[in-house]
Amino acid sequence: MGREPAGTKARRSKDDPGYFPSSDEDFAMFPKLVLISISFLAIVCAQQAGTNTAETHPTMSWQKCTTGGGCTDAGSGSVVLDANWRWVHNVGGFTNCYTGNTWDSSLCPDDKTCAANCALDGADYSSTYGITTSGNALTLKFVTPNSSGKNIGSRVYLLASDSQYQMFKLLNQEFTFDVDVSNLGCGLNGALYFSEMDADGGMAKFPTNKAGAKYGTGYCDSQCPRDIKFIAGEANAEGWQPSPNDINAGTGNYGSCCNEMDVWEANNNAAAYTPHPCTAQGLQRCSGTACGGTDNRYGSICDPDGCDFNSYRMGDTSFFGQGMTVDTSSKFTVVTQFITDDGTASGTLSEIRRIYVQNGQVIQNSKVNIPGMDSSMDSITSDFCSAQKTAFGDRDSFGEKGGLANMGKAMANGMVLVMSIWDDHAANMLWLDSVYPTDGDATKPGIKRGTCATSSGVPADVESSVPNSSVTYSNIRFGDINSTFTATAKTGGSAATKSARGTVVKFGQCGGEGYTGPTACASGTSCTALNAHYSQCL
């Protein structure tokens, strides 16, 4: 098992921070009778956009890079809060459609009527949700006290415009960002990943969705989460079961499935990057056991486990953490390269490579130190994934769901950037940073994932003891392989003289007709001509 149990990732919606008095309470300017009357005015429409709070997206800049031209600003970017966190109320009024972890049965007797009666409202990003931006930096606070109580966690998406998500086509490209996890301990997860969502949040595909990307709709991931309040232009109220251990969450009849590329799931004790392929493209609404989950984990169209590279889990216990090779007590840079078999954007995804940069030095990813696996492995390839599943005794759901090939199809289609902070009501985040499963043999390869205690990560504990935890993502860059970072390579404790931008990693392109990038290959490889158009470091 590579990661969290099914449904956990989207179970990040917490208290309804936009809470207003319900129809059972006094509200001086809106008498009870008026509220009830207003709630049915838009019955012919669906999944409305509310107007009680103006939706103003926090700005966040980022850059596009090329090997020949360096990095330039990509235009006016911004972020939008996911719909699951928003105040959901009756259209034109102030009555909650959803309170705590239950739906109002009068406003939401069924999914279609609920979507017609209810609106997603605008967000006060800083005061209510603890979301702030400054230049190219985004900070997400874990617990934010507000006038309605408190908000816990958040999930945001990068926008290209007020009504469109920024789409990233990742093949033969690299994605780079700076991150500060020094204030993010055991049991917490600062996640940055890509989801195969629709650019408009589903408005064109599902005309009953009137809120769209502007209000953060259309979420999906490989866990096929069933706690999403609106899916495919309808509510998810039918069959809704409140969570027994989360006063703000529950599950409905439906789930929301799609390809997911976890570039970064981490705290200051452990980190993993993980592709999760599906057998279909784009958002797919599932029902019941076809969503997978506890009783039918591998029953959905998506791979819930993924093929993960967690340095600690892969046998290097001194690579990532406070005071280690990648020192999580201070900010560092994370580079992820999506390499294709022919070095072009139309090729097949063949490798996902990780590089770090800290204090001006490049740090290559850790090597595998697991019995039965090649010790030279240090990236995600098909061979790595097959060997890992065998060595750990895990089911190869990754291969069954199409592996890197299907993951690459989603990357070619375009994916949405997601950034979040969350705690885990299903498994206390032990799958990321501790021993998991806790009832297994701790000496078995793959069981130990980090240094955190098995008693850590209980949501009630972390929410009360470390509420001021936070994560900051900054300096996002995207472009050609080896174009998004410049630093001095760190090898055996000494600094090499070549800049990272001038060195091509193993399997990267180093020549060919029309190629203008770097030609020097990483140590141990040489530039080999495969044809007139393409040379590769092998």
- Out of 7-16, 81-90, 371-380, 509-518, pick the least confident: 7-16
The helix (H) or strand (E) run that includes residue 337 is: strand 332-340
pLDDT greater at residue 407 or residue 527? 407
Give the pLDDT confidence score for residue 258 in this predicted structure: 98
Give the pLDDT confidence score for residue 493 in this predicted structure: 37
Tell me the CB-side half-sphere exposure of residue 282, using CA atoms within 13 A.
9
The string of pLDDT tens digits covering residues 297-355 is: 999 999 999 999 999 999 999 999 999 999 999 999 999 999 999 999 999 999 999 99
Q: Omega into 277 within 30° of 0, i.e. cis?
A: no
* Average pLDDT across the chain, whole number: 88
Could you tell me the sign of the dihedral formed by the alpha carbons of 527, 485, 158, 261, in that order?
Answer: positive
Give the pLDDT confidence score for residue 359 in this predicted structure: 95
Give the pLDDT confidence score for residue 480 in this predicted structure: 97
DSSP-assigned states of every residue in 302-313: B-SS---B-TTT
Residue 26 has pLDDT above 80, yes or no: no
The string of pLDDT tens digits covering residues 200-242 is: 999 999 999 999 999 999 999 999 999 999 999 999 999 999 9
Q: What is the arithmetic mean of pLDDT over 491-512?
A: 54
Give the pLDDT confidence score for residue 50 in this predicted structure: 67
Would you please indicate which residues are annotated as catalytic (active-site) residues?
A: 260, 265
Residue 367 has pLDDT above 80, yes or no: yes
Residue 181 has pLDDT above 50, yes or no: yes
Q: How far apart are the C-alpha atoms of 426 and 6, rounded to whole Å?
A: 9
Percent of the chain surpassing pLDDT 90: 77
| Helix, coil or strand: residue 125 | helix
Smallest CA-to-CA distance from 62 within 484, 478, 414, 360 is with 478
Largest CA distance in the chain: 77
Q: Residue 169 — left, alpha, or beta (φ > 0 → left; ψ -120 to 50 → alpha)? A: beta
The string of pLDDT tens digits covering residues 468-492 is: 999 999 999 999 999 999 865 544 3
Q: How far apart are the C-alpha atoms of 267 and 321, rounded to whole Å?
A: 9
pLDDT confidence tier of residue 38, bands split at 50, 70 and 90: very low
Residue 495 has pLDDT above 60, yes or no: no
**Beta partners for residue 461, in sequence order:** none
- Out of 80-89, 115-124, 408-417, 515-524, pick the least confident: 515-524
Q: Are 144 and 157 in contact (CB under 8 A)?
A: no
Q: How far is CA 356 from the centre of its chain?
A: 19
Q: Are 52 and 122 in contact (CB under 8 A)?
A: yes
Q: How far apart are the C-alpha atoms of 2 and 394, rounded to whole Å?
A: 9
State how beta strands 527-531 and 149-152 pair: unpaired
The string of pLDDT tens digits covering residues 249-305 is: 999 999 999 999 999 999 999 999 999 999 999 999 999 999 998 889 999 999 999
